[in-house]
Chain A
């Protein structure tokens, strides 16, 4: 099976540059604003979109993404609305891969079969579910693969060579390497260690390896992109939204534009990555 993710990754490989993978929180601060942010991402240079599914108890996330999830839920977002948002985006964009990212409980409550059918219909290409390690593959990973949706697994610094094959076994689309032991939004880890880890993972798989957690600036994207097949940016984008929302909930500037400006800079960064590496 070839998915939009596979096609996009192959295309970027030909172009000789890493992918810019952009995470934003679905429904933050409300459905319409969030949809406008999503629509602005490809034009600003995002290659793959990670659409965050808000959860009340995001245990692997830092304060920024947790706050975004709470804003989104307060704004009335639900899993059904997040799927609707993806479907609406898909009407105008048939190419940009969409990966849903979040936690298992809202999916479990929605119903796994119903979720996969609706996600497929909405044009979803992949899933990242933080609290489903390979030990729990029967819950969602295997049904997702059967439904033709990539299941993208996180590999972390604690995933040693002994465990790596288990983590990679049912992974598809790409491997998401978590640059550090920690939560989203922490400081970026030692980039040389990250590069070594990417190399280590690539010895075990032919899948592209994208790196996330801690990448906030174009310069960091450039450095990480020199060794990784993709760079994931999340907290910085979520912060760009938060920065234009006042304490009273009113917008002080257009969140779509704020995100687009940031993403353009990051896109420039990943396009410099291999040039710099080749020097």
Chain B
């Protein structure tokens, strides 16, 4: 691969074709192409419309509960005896994760476009719940595609979606996880082009989704940056977030990309280790390819067939990653590291006990990396971890891993 030239700013992408370097793009069937161009046009208009921004800000404030707090994790910091650890508390948002940020933005766009039917894909169910929530709030029918395996391991979220009036459609193709749910959502969209809005949950897919979702999620990083300046009087040394598709991570990272003294680390699901196929570390163990509308790092075999990964966390169980992360990896601006299932599980328990906060298993991956590096850092140094969601949904999985029945 050619080494890309380092840009003056890491915050200007994508280009007009939706490319971040060689990544991104619009690799979709012709049937969807006019829809994606419409979406792009509407998104360009909306982001420059003060009324759109005002409505989103009002909903974010009074409905979702923003700004989320930047919390000094004193217990965990003391326990580790190194850098000062802060949590960006996205778990405190309405619906319990960062997903609501994107869903509120996109539902306003759907309304603006006159669409009357919402579809979404979900892995852990957090995006499905957030989609069902905004669909309920705005009175749209909502259909959520979810892999059959995930339906099984995320039962509480499945029930929440149903309570919110959404129809959960289990997908049995493939391994029945997020990748297969996304295929099925795309099939629905290609069939129902007139009335349907596809509310993609992560910063991936065809342009303009990666850019649009990033912009809706960047509220995380913008707030965190202002909050740490106010609370500590300086920028952090390290910021960390878990990366599945990568929406919470790009949301935290993007406002810090040009702060060159801030080290940025994305944590991939290392599953049971990178040696075999039981992981979802596409940027550590995959290579560039084309899937779901964009070019990005993918887990695949030598014939270009996509490989199903594995993670204890349903939200990280995806063989690809958003294209901007792929670009940030290749430019070297962001380091992407794997965390194993066991390490995430330990972090889950330590965070719960030391802080009285039950983190989502996705977020536990980010915490696990902070646990690794904090003791090696000075006590005057600062880490911000994106606590992207709360872990109530995961207690069944964790109990099973610990050998308990509940």
Asked whether B300 is an interface residue with its Cβ less than 8 Å from the other chain, the reply is yes
Q: Scoring A residues 166 to 189 as 1 if CB is less than 8 Å from chain B, else 0, what string do you get? A: 010000000000100111001000
Residue of A54, A73, A131, A178 touching B27 (CB-CB under 8 A): A131
A59 contact set on B, CB distance < 8 A? 29, 183, 186-187, 190, 292
8 A Cβ contacts from B10-65 to A: 17, 25-35
Assembly CA distance A66 to B174 (angstroms): 10
- The 8 Å CB contact of B290, one of A60, A105, A110, A153, is A105
Interface on chain B toward A: helix, strand, loop, or mixed SS?
mixed
The yes or no answer to A155 lying at the interface (CB within 8 A) is: yes
B residues less than 8 Å from A62 (CB atoms): 187
In angstroms, Cα B186 to Cα A24, docked, is 23
Instruction: Name the segment of B1-9, B211-219, B301-309, B341-349 touching the other chain.
Output: B301-309
State in angstroms the CA–CA spacing of A181 and B29 once bound together: 11
A59 and B171 CA atoms in complex are apart in Å by 13
Q: Is the CB of A155 within 8 A of B30?
A: yes
In this complex, what residue of A is CB-closest to B295? Answer: A108
Stretch from A28-36, A157-165, A263-271 at the B interface: A157-165
B367 at the interface (CB under 8 A from A): no
**Is there contact, CB below 8 Å, between A57 and B34?**
no
Whether the pair B290, A181 counts as a contact (CB closer than 8 A) is no
CB distance from A115 to the nearest CB of B (A): 10
> Do B290 and A160 touch across chains, with their CB atoms under 8 A apart?
no
Does A205 sit within 8 A of B, measured CB to CB?
Answer: no
Contact with B along A48-82 (1 / 0, CB 8 A): 00000011111110110010000001000011100
B-side contacts of A183, CB under 8 Å: 187, 190-191
Q: Which residue of A lies closest to B194 (CB)?
A: A181
**In the complex, what's the smallest C-beta–C-beta distance from B343 to chain A, in angstroms?**
29
- A160 and chain B: residue at smallest CB distance: B34
Q: For chain B residues 272-319, which have a beta carbon within 8 Å of chain A? A: 289-293, 295, 298, 300, 302-307
Task: List, in ascending order, chain B residues with CB within 8 A of A163's CB.
Answer: 33-34
Contact A135 B305 (CB under 8 A): no
* CB atoms of B304 and A105 under 8 A apart: yes
Q: How far is the CA of A158 from the CA of B26 in the complex (A)?
A: 16
Q: Are A133 and B183 in contact (CB under 8 A)?
A: no
Q: How far is the CB of A139 from chain B (nearest CB, A)?
A: 8
Say yes or no: A156-B191 contact (C-beta < 8 A), given A57-B183, A59-B292, A108-B289.
no
- Chain A residues, Cβ within 8 Å of B307: 56
How many residues on the B side are at the interface (Cβ–Cβ under 8 A)? 37
Does the CB pair A104–B290 fall under 8 Å? yes
Question: Any chain B CB within 8 A of the CB of A107?
Answer: yes
Shortest distance between the CB of A160 and any CB in chain B (Å): 7
Structural contact, B305 and A108, CB atoms closer than 8 A: no
**Contact B190–A181 (Cβ < 8 Å):** yes
**Structural contact, B191 and A154, CB atoms closer than 8 A:** no
B26 touches A108 (CB 8 A): no
Closest Cβ of chain B: how far from A112's Cβ, in Å? 12
Inside 8 A of B291's CB, which chain A residues have their CB?
A: 57, 105
Number of A-B contacts (CB under 8 A): 116
Closest Cβ–Cβ distance, residue A7 to chain B (whole Å):
27
Verify B30–A133 contact, CB threshold 8 A.
yes
Instruction: Verify A186–B193 contact, CB threshold 8 A.
Output: no
Query: Which residues between 107 and 162 of chain A lie within 8 Å of chain B, taking CB atoms?
Result: 107-110, 130-136, 153-160
- A136 lies within 8 A of B25 (CB): yes
Asked if residues A106 and B303 are in contact (CB atoms below 8 Å), the reply is yes
Check B179 for interface membership: any CB of A closer than 8 A: yes
B401 on the interface (CB 8 Å rule)?
no
Cα(A54)–Cα(B292), bound, Å: 16
Chain B residues within 8 Å of A56, by CB: 174, 305-307
B40 to chain A, nearest CB (A): 11
A-chain residues with CB within 8 Å of residue B28 when the two chains form the complex: 131, 133
Find A66's partner among B173, B179, B290, B300 (CB 8 Å cutoff). Answer: B173
**CB nearest neighbor in B for A110:** B304
* Measured CA separation A258–B32 after assembly (Å): 35
Given contacts A59-B186, A133-B28, A136-B27, contact A109 B302 (CB under 8 A): yes
The answer for the CA separation of A181 and B34 in the assembled complex, in Å, is: 12
* A159 lies within 8 A of B292 (CB): no
Q: Which of B34, B290, B300, B304 contacts A131 (CB 8 A)?
A: B290
Interface flags, B129-153, vs A, CB<8A=1, else 0: 0000000000000000000000000
A110-B304, A131-B27, A133-B28 known; A158-B183 Cβ under 8 A: no
Q: A135 touching B190 by the CB < 8 A rule?
A: no
Complex Cα spacing A59 to B26, Å: 14
Central interface residue in A55, A63, A156, by most chain B CB within 10 Å: A156
- Kindly list chain B residues whose C-beta atoms are within 8 Å of the C-beta of A55: 304-305
Most buried by A among B28, B35, B187, B303: B303
A108 touches B183 (CB 8 A): no
**B303 touches which of A57, A109, A153, A159 (Cβ 8 Å):** A109
Which one, B31, B186, B192, B300, contacts A178 given CB within 8 A?
Answer: B31
Q: Is the CB of A182 within 8 A of B190?
A: yes
A108–B304 contact, CB under 8 A?
yes
Q: State A54–B301 Cα separation when bound (angstroms).
A: 13
User: Quick check: A181 and B305 within 8 Å, CB to CB?
Assistant: no
In the bound complex, residues from chain A placing their C-beta under 8 Å from that of B290 are: 103-105, 108, 131
Are B306 and A181 interface neighbours, CB within 8 A?
no
With A59-B292, A183-B187, A183-B190 in contact, do A156 and B30 touch (Cβ < 8 Å)? yes
What are 9 A-B pairs with beta-carbon distances under 8 A? A56-B307, A57-B292, A79-B303, A106-B303, A106-B304, A154-B30, A159-B33, A163-B34, A181-B191
Closest CB pairs A-B (n = 8): A109-B304, A106-B304, A156-B31, A182-B191, A56-B305, A78-B303, A105-B304, A133-B33
A-binding residues in B (CB < 8 A): 17, 25-35, 173-174, 179, 183, 186-187, 190-194, 289-293, 295, 298, 300, 302-307
A sample of 16 more A-B contacts (CB under 8 A), given A136-B27, A159-B33, is: A54-B305, A57-B306, A60-B187, A79-B304, A80-B303, A105-B289, A105-B306, A109-B289, A130-B29, A131-B27, A133-B26, A153-B30, A156-B30, A156-B31, A157-B31, A181-B192
